């Protein structure tokens, strides 16, 4: 091996050993730079003469070409390796499942309310919503609770020290019964002069508030009011409608209901409605489900109607309790803690 072949081999080895592009350029300078070994060889040509210079010059040029080729090859290899490393680092596994938002679902109590609306809707009941902040008149006075009458304390109302623009006391409604009055008054007004007035048939679900808190009571809970006013609507209709509702709601045609005498200022007579399942774990036990009664004549008068002519029933039930019974939930507070482990079971 002559000196030039040895230098060519040395350069190729140096290039191969350079792990990065920067080190490769340093190695290049050692051969091809201003003071590089090939450059030095070329400078040495000046001392030669004639033919010698020609032959040696050609050999050095061949060497230079060989070194440049080795350099270029190494440059390409390094660039390729770098590209591959980069691609590997940024690798995207297109077969991974995407990040999903997760399936949402309705709250179990909302599902119950929708179910109540669907069943009563199929029986011709309208659905109404009303304010949760009510006037004292709507929550009590219109419902035949005389001011300062002890019956007002039947409900553990959240009284607030606030009046509205017209100077009326406000409260968080303790029941949905004010909706009887709101809906019936609007109905009577919009059908004024229509003879006979179309019947009032409405349910009004929504949030209600009382100072009460344990496993079966929450300061915020739900009620659903029902009202059917016509010219001949009686307890008999209430029993048919409510029993039919329960059988459809719980999908149990053997459900029985009974009325138990009770007292509400706004109904006379008044009754609690109890139900009994024909099957399942609660079979054979009477369960209290709703308050109800024939609407009191004073209340019908506050609807803006003549109690001699317009009669009917009202009831108030608890969608929270219906939900507990339907799904076998034993603590009402679970509905309002918003623990997803609980709620996601109802999706
Ligand atoms: N409002 C009553 C309550 O909160 C329930 C009820 C509604 C009773 C309608 C009779 C008629 O307990």
Using 50, 70 and 90 to split pLDDT, how confident is the model at 154?
A: low
Q: Note the pLDDT tens digit of each residue in 166-188.
A: 998 899 999 999 999 999 999 99
Phi, psi of 271, deg, nearest 5: -150, 150
| pTM exceeds 0.85, yes or no | no
pLDDT top residue among 40 and 149 = 40
Q: Note the pLDDT tens digit of each residue in 189-240.
A: 999 989 999 999 999 999 999 988 888 888 999 999 999 999 999 999 999 9
**What's the whole-number average pLDDT of the chain?**
93
Using 50, 70 and 90 to split pLDDT, how confident is the model at 117?
A: very high
Rounded mean pLDDT of 256-268? 97
For residue 336, how far is its CA from the centre of ligand 1 (angstroms)?
A: 23
- Percentage of the chain modeled with pLDDT above 70: 98
pLDDT top residue among 166 and 158 = 166
For residue 212, the model assigns a pLDDT of 85
Mention every residue, 6+ apart, whose C-beta is less than 8 A from residue 173: 130, 131, 132, 133, 134, 138, 139, 208, 209
For residue 62, how far is its CA from the centre of ligand 1 (angstroms)?
A: 108
Q: Which residues of 217-233 are buried (b: 16+ CB within 10 A; e: fewer)?
A: ebeebbbbbbbbbbeeb
Q: Note the pLDDT tens digit of each residue in 24-71.
A: 999 999 999 998 999 998 888 888 888 888 898 899 999 999 999 999
Residue nearest to atom 10 of ligand 1 (CA): 292
- Percentage of the chain modeled with pLDDT above 90: 77
Residue nearest to atom 9 of ligand 1 (CA): 315
For residue 159, the model assigns a pLDDT of 78
Of the candidates 267, 258, 196, 283, which has an alpha carbon nearest to the alpha carbon of residue 227?
267
* CA 269 to each of CA 44, 77, 266, 287, 291: distance values in angstroms, whole numbers, following the listed order: 127, 97, 9, 21, 11
C-alpha span between 247 and 256 (Å, rounded): 9
For residue 282, the model assigns a pLDDT of 93
Q: Where are the alpha helices (DSSP H) in 19-49?
A: 21-32, 37-44
**Minimum-distance ligand 1 atom for the alpha carbon of 291:** 8
- Given the DSSP bridges, would you call strands 256-264 and 267-276 parallel, antiparallel or unpaired? antiparallel
Using 50, 70 and 90 to split pLDDT, how confident is the model at 300?
A: very high
For residue 147, how far is its CA from the centre of ligand 1 (angstroms)?
A: 18
Residue nearest to atom 4 of ligand 1 (CA): 175
Q: Residue 198 carries which DSSP code?
A: P
Pocket lined around ligand 1, Cβ cut-off 6 Å: 175, 177, 264, 267, 291-293, 314-316
Contacts 24+ apart (CB under 8 A), 337-344: 343/105, 343/107, 343/108, 344/105
Tokens 């709703």 sit at which residue? 290
For residue 137, how far is its CA from the centre of ligand 1 (angstroms)?
A: 16
C-alpha span between 260 and 291 (Å, rounded): 9
Q: Is the pLDDT of residue 150 over 80?
A: no
For residue 295, the model assigns a pLDDT of 98
Report, in angstroms and rounded to the nearest whole number, the Rg of the chain calculated over CA atoms: 45
**Minimum-distance ligand 1 atom for the alpha carbon of 174:** 4
For residue 122, the model assigns a pLDDT of 98
Pocket test for ligand 1, best of 172, 316, 319, 321 (most atoms within 8 A of CB): 316
For residue 1, the model assigns a pLDDT of 60
**Residue 107 and residue 342 in contact, taking contact as beta carbons nearer than 8 Å:** no
Q: Note the pLDDT tens digit of each residue in 125-134.
A: 999 999 999 9
- Given the DSSP bridges, would you call strands 133-135 and 126-127 parallel, antiparallel or unpaired? unpaired
C-alpha span between 93 and 95 (Å, rounded): 5
- Given the DSSP bridges, would you call strands 287-295 and 126-127 parallel, antiparallel or unpaired? unpaired
């Amino acid at each position: 091996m002559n000196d030039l072949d040895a230098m060519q081999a040395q350069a190729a080895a140096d290039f191969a050993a350079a792990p990065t592009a920067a080190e490769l350029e340093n190695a290049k300078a050692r051969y091809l730079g201003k003071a590089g070994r090939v450059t030095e060889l070329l400078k040495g040509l000046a001392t030669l003469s004639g033919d010698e210079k020609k032959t040696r010059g050609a050999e050095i040029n061949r060497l230079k070409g060989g070194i440049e080729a080795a350099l270029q090859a190494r440059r390409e290899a390094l660039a390729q390796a770098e590209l591959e490393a980069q691609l590997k680092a940024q690798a995207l596994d297109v077969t991974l499942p995407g990040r999903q938002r997760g399936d949402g679902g309705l709250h179990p109590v909302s599902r119950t309310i929708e179910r109540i609306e669907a069943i009563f809707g199929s029986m011709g009941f309208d659905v109404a919503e009303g304010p949760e902040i009510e006037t004292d008149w709507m929550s009590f006075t219109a419902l035949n609770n005389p001011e300062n009458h002890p019956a007002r304390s039947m409900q553990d109302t959240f009284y607030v020290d606030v009046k509205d623009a017209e100077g009326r006391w406000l409260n968080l409604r303790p029941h949905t019964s004010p909706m009887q009055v709101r809906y019936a008054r609007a109905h009577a007004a919009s059908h004024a002069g229509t003879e006979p007035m179309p019947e009032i048939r409405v349910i009004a679900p929504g949030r209600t508030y009382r100072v009460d808190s344990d496993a079966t009571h929450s300061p915020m809970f739900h009620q659903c009011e029902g009202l059917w006013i016509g010219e001949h609507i009686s307890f008999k209709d209430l029993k048919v409608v409510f029993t039919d509702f329960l059988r459809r709601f719980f999908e149990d045609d053997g459900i029985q209901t009974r009325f138990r005498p009770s007292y509400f200022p706004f109904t006379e007579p008044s009754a609690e409605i109890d139900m009994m399942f024909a099957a399942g774990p609660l079979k054979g036990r009477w369960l209290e489900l709703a308050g109800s009664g024939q609407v009191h004549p004073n209340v019908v008068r506050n609807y803006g109607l003549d109690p001699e002519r317009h009669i009917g029933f009202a009831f108030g039930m608890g969608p929270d309790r219906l939900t507990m019974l339907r799904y076998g939930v034993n603590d009402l507070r679970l509905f309002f803690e918003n623990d997803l482990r609980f709620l996601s079971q109802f999706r």
